[in-house]
Amino acid sequence: MVSRLRFEAILFLSLCATTMAQAQASPPEVHLTLPQAIDMALKQNRNLVLARLTVLSSEHKKTIARSYYFPEIHNSSTVLHITELTHIVVPQNSLEVGVPPHDTLISQGALDTYTSGTQLVQPITQAFKIRASNQAATADIHLAQIQETQAENQIALKIRELYYGILISRLKQKAAQEDLKVNQAKQQEAGAAIQNGSALEVSSLEARAVILNAQQTILTLTQQEQDTTLTLVNVLGLPLSTHLLIESDTSADTEENPLPDRSEGLRLAEEKNNEVRAAREKVMKARAGVAVARSAYIPDITGLARYSYQSGIPFLVHNFGSFGANFNFDLFEGGRRSAQLHDAQVQLELAQTDLARLQDDVAVQVESSYNKLERVESLVTVLSELSKVRDEAARIADRQFEQSTILASDRSQAHAQAASAEANLLEARLSLTLTRNDLKQTIGIVPR
């Protein structure tokens, strides 16, 4: 009885261990719609995490630059032991009769000395340089924020491209499978015709070659879907072993708000385009660099106040205060300041020229995007009508096949054409979505 219970316990533990091992070995499954995928990527994509950390770093650097406006308080304390001291000897009767009555030894301090001073330092003329440094730090913050926005926009577009790519690949696989059925049916029909003597053997070989090509297409599309899915998992910031289950419905990605017209789009692009904004911030930073270079010609004047304590130093009271100012100026530095100023002016000119170039490039990009948008919208309209026609043709082919008025290959051909038309329509809609979002990004509207 005991051995039986022991056996059952061991069996139960083994089953539990096996179940846990299988649970650990099976990859996690994630069910996603397109909006959920975009939200997940915006939260945990590693590139976005890096961009946000860059913003935080820039904000901390701005805090550091601003801190130089304020006074600084320092404390300096020392403890010293002196091995030997000199003494002053006042001989007997050297001052006046009977004073001092005998030789007197006057000590020069103590062997152990203690000093401690607390000093307040306030920059004065350095404020010009500090102000310019703060302007540069502010420009760096704005640049980091713009780069973060650009990264978010690019991730949102990348998710759409990958998500649609998976769906398009599946539809193309479906079309290829229908095409495979067509050619298999044609091979069977050719075999029957050969047996009847109404066709040659070469027709069967040709049908076999077409079947092999269709199988190769299916394998290629399957590998393409797997690669696209793996890339999507990586962009989402999930473990690479994650198994994605994505919805084929993309109706939530339809555009509701109309885009501005061309003239308004050009105005918005000049004002809000991220690249143009970043170029403006670089101009501001370059101007701050010129101000810093010019401030090198201003002497450094620093106000200071100090409270000191000492013990063991002769001829000084224990506690005393001091205040004043410190003046520093380089009388000769080998032309360094002049070269730095000229270099800063060149950097400013480079930034201004780059801003003008970007403004022209963005204007051209806006015009091209509007032209492409019109073409893609027309293509989507045509392919939508074609898809409806192909679906209706496939429905009619099903009915005719049931009535034995067409061959199985004709029916499969109609379904293959319908699946191919649906894939082309989805591909065109993806192109329309990407074109609209590219245009939004160009004119400074967040494409979410």
pLDDT given at position 32: 84
Distances (CA, A) of 429 to 276, 322, 376, 424: 29, 78, 8, 9
Strands 72-81 vs 104-107: parallel, antiparallel or unpaired: unpaired
User: Whole-angstrom Cα distance, residue 421 to residue 6?
Assistant: 65
Q: Tens digit of pLDDT per residue, the chain (448 long)? A: 445 555 454 545 555 555 554 444 456 778 888 888 889 998 889 899 999 999 999 999 999 999 999 999 999 999 988 887 777 776 766 666 666 777 676 767 778 888 999 999 999 999 999 999 999 999 999 999 999 988 988 898 888 889 888 888 888 888 888 777 777 777 676 666 555 555 445 556 676 777 788 788 888 888 888 898 899 989 988 888 888 888 877 766 665 567 888 888 888 888 888 899 999 999 999 999 999 999 999 999 999 999 999 887 777 788 989 999 999 998 888 899 999 999 999 999 999 999 999 999 999 999 999 999 999 999 999 999 999 998 998 899 888 888 878 777 788 888 888 888 888 888 888 888 888 888 888 888 776 6
CA Rg value for the chain = 41
Q: Is the dihedral of CA 429, 430, 431, 433 positive or negative?
A: positive
What's the token pair of residue 165? Answer: 């790519």
User: Whole-angstrom Cα distance, residue 133 to residue 62?
Assistant: 9
* CB proximity list for 102: less than 8 A, separation 6 or greater: 92
pLDDT given at position 145: 93
What's the token pair of residue 404? Answer: 């034995």
What's the token pair of residue 229? Answer: 């899915």
pLDDT given at position 199: 47
What dihedral angle (degrees, nearest 10) is formed by the CA atoms of 147, 149, 154, 155?
110
pLDDT given at position 318: 86
pTM confidence score: 0.74
User: Whole-angstrom Cα distance, residue 52 to residue 281?
Assistant: 18
* CB proximity list for 123: less than 8 A, separation 6 or greater: 68, 69, 130, 300, 302
pLDDT given at position 298: 92
What kind and span of H or E run contains 302?
Answer: strand 300-311
User: Torsion-angle region of residue 26: left (phi > 0), alpha (psi -120 to 50) or beta?
Assistant: beta
Rounded to the nearest 5°, which phi and psi values hold at 334?
70, 25
pLDDT given at position 99: 66
DSSP SS3 for 243 = strand
SS (H, E, C) 139-178: HHHHHHHHHHHHHHHHHHHHHHHHHHHHHHHHHHHHHHHH
DSSP SS3 for 248 = coil
What dihedral angle (degrees, nearest 10) is formed by the CA atoms of 264, 267, 273, 278?
-170
Q: CATH for 27-75+125-302+336-442, among 3.90.700.10, 1.10.260.40, 1.20.1600.10, 1.10.150.20?
A: 1.20.1600.10
pLDDT given at position 23: 44
Nearest to 298, CA basis, from 325, 329, 327? 329
Residues 40-69: b if buried by 16+ CB within 10 A, e if exposed: bbbeebebbeebeebbeebbebbeebeeee
